[in-house]
Amino acid sequence: MTTLILLRHGRTDYNVSGRLQGSLDVPLGEAGRTQARAAARHLRHAYGAPDALLSSPLLRAFDTAREIGAAAGVAPTADARLTQRSYGAWEGLTWDDVRERWPEQYEARMRGEDPEIEGWGRSAEVGARVAACLEEACRGRRLVTVVSHGSALMLGALSLLGLPPLSTALGKLPHGHWNVMTRSSTGVWSMERYGIDPSGARLPRGAEAQDGD
**pLDDT value of position 210:** 47
130 assigned to some structural domain:
yes
Statement: residue 201 has pLDDT above 60: no
Per annotation, catalytic residue among 9, 42, 175, 177: 9
Per annotation, catalytic residue among 45, 149, 175, 177: 149
| Region 202-208 average pLDDT | 45
CATH number of the domain bearing residue 39? 3.40.50.1240
Measured between alpha carbons, how far is residue 175 from residues 8, 15, 65, 121, 141 in Å? Answer: 5, 9, 13, 21, 26
32 assigned to some structural domain:
yes
211 assigned to some structural domain:
no
114 assigned to some structural domain:
yes
Question: What percentage of the chain carries pLDDT values higher than 70?
Answer: 93
Active site residue 149: yes
Count structural domains, the chain: 1
Beta strand 178-183 pairing with 189-196: antiparallel
| Region 197-209 average pLDDT | 53
202 assigned to some structural domain:
no
Active site residue 42: no
6 assigned to some structural domain:
yes
Rg (CA), the chain: 16
152 assigned to some structural domain:
yes
CA distance 109 to 126: 16
Q: What are phi and psi of 19, to 5 degrees?
A: -95, 140
Query: What are 55's strand-pairing partners?
Result: 78, 147
Confidence of residue 204 (pLDDT cuts 50, 70, 90): very low
26 burial via Cβ count (<10 Å: 0-12, 13-18, 19+): buried
Statement: residue 137 has pLDDT above 90: yes
Structural domain harbouring 167:
2-196
Q: Which amino acid is at 155?
A: L
pTM over 0.85: yes
Confidence of residue 197 (pLDDT cuts 50, 70, 90): confident
